[in-house]
Amino acid sequence: MQADFDVGRELLKLIAVITMTVDHIGAILYPAYWVLRVVGRLSFPLFCFLIVLGVESTRNVKNYFIRLLLFALVSQFPFFLALGTGMFESLNIFFTLSFGVMFIHFLNKKSPLILLPILASFLNFDYSIYGILMMGSMYVLREDRKLGIASIILLNFLFLPVWPTQIFSLLTLPIILLYNNDLKTFKESKVKNAYPFWRKYFFYVYYPLHLTLLYLIKLSYFQ
């Protein structure tokens, strides 16, 4: 039995997870080391691009949205503990990504319902409206390379006065463009499950677990 295995997408996920972890180590354990937060700016654009790829490849957008939303609810408790915010002062990245799925779906259908996830992003979503618009820019990038690059650059410069470090997220563009141009899907044959269950859900589980671990480390060694 053959199964599609997208090596490029797996590399993007790995880079996104590593840079996100570095970012959270900086935010939770070493806030004075700003370079860790700069490295972390690379993670979110990659997750945005992966959401666009996920909407393209999923068999059921509704289930995809619900799955992300469920993990958003599960992750909120360790998120607020680790980051030291109020319980609902800021909603974790899974909320942003789940409503990004909705945004991309409605954008693809050219539906006016795209206003719903845009308005929802103002409910203290991590990355707020910037996050939803970044996923929209990544969608444009898949459709039109030049227009997509221009929209991503413009978006980051628009937010430069209020979020100057996020400009470093543009460093992910070469990586994303490499995926679009050179990293193709290949077949793994003679394997019943070339894409195992654990790999599909690794990030979903990793997100709340690594936040919990960092919170426990902070309690034990950084008080």
Q: What is the pLDDT of residues 89-141, one digit of tens each?
A: 899 999 999 999 999 999 999 999 999 999 999 999 999 999 999 999 999 99
pLDDT-derived band at 1 (thresholds 50, 70, 90) equals: very low
pLDDT at residue number 88? 86
28-42, 59-73, 176-190: the lowest-pLDDT one: 176-190
pTM value is 0.91
CA distances from 108 to 54, 61, 136 (A): 13, 12, 10
Alpha-carbon distance of 20 to 42, in angstroms, equals 8
The b/e string for 49-67 (b: 16+ C-beta within 10 A; e otherwise) is: bbbbbbbeeeeebeebbeb
Q: Which residue has the tokens 């059921």?
A: 60
- Dihedral of alpha carbons 93, 166, 40, 217, sign: negative
Torsion angle of alpha carbons 195, 15, 19, 152, nearest 10°? -110
**pLDDT per residue over 55-67, tens digit each?**
999 999 999 999 9
Neighbours of 12 (CB within 10 A): 22
Strand, helix or coil for residue 153: helix
Angle at 6 between CA 64 and CA 174, to 5 degrees: 95
Q: How far apart are CA 80 and CA 102, in angstroms?
A: 24
Q: How confident is the model at residue 182 (pLDDT cuts 50, 70, 90)?
A: low
Q: Which residues are CB-contacts of 44 (< 8 A; sequence separation ≥ 6)?
A: 20, 93, 127, 131, 134, 169
Q: Strand runs (DSSP E) across the chain, as ranges?
A: 3-5, 186-188
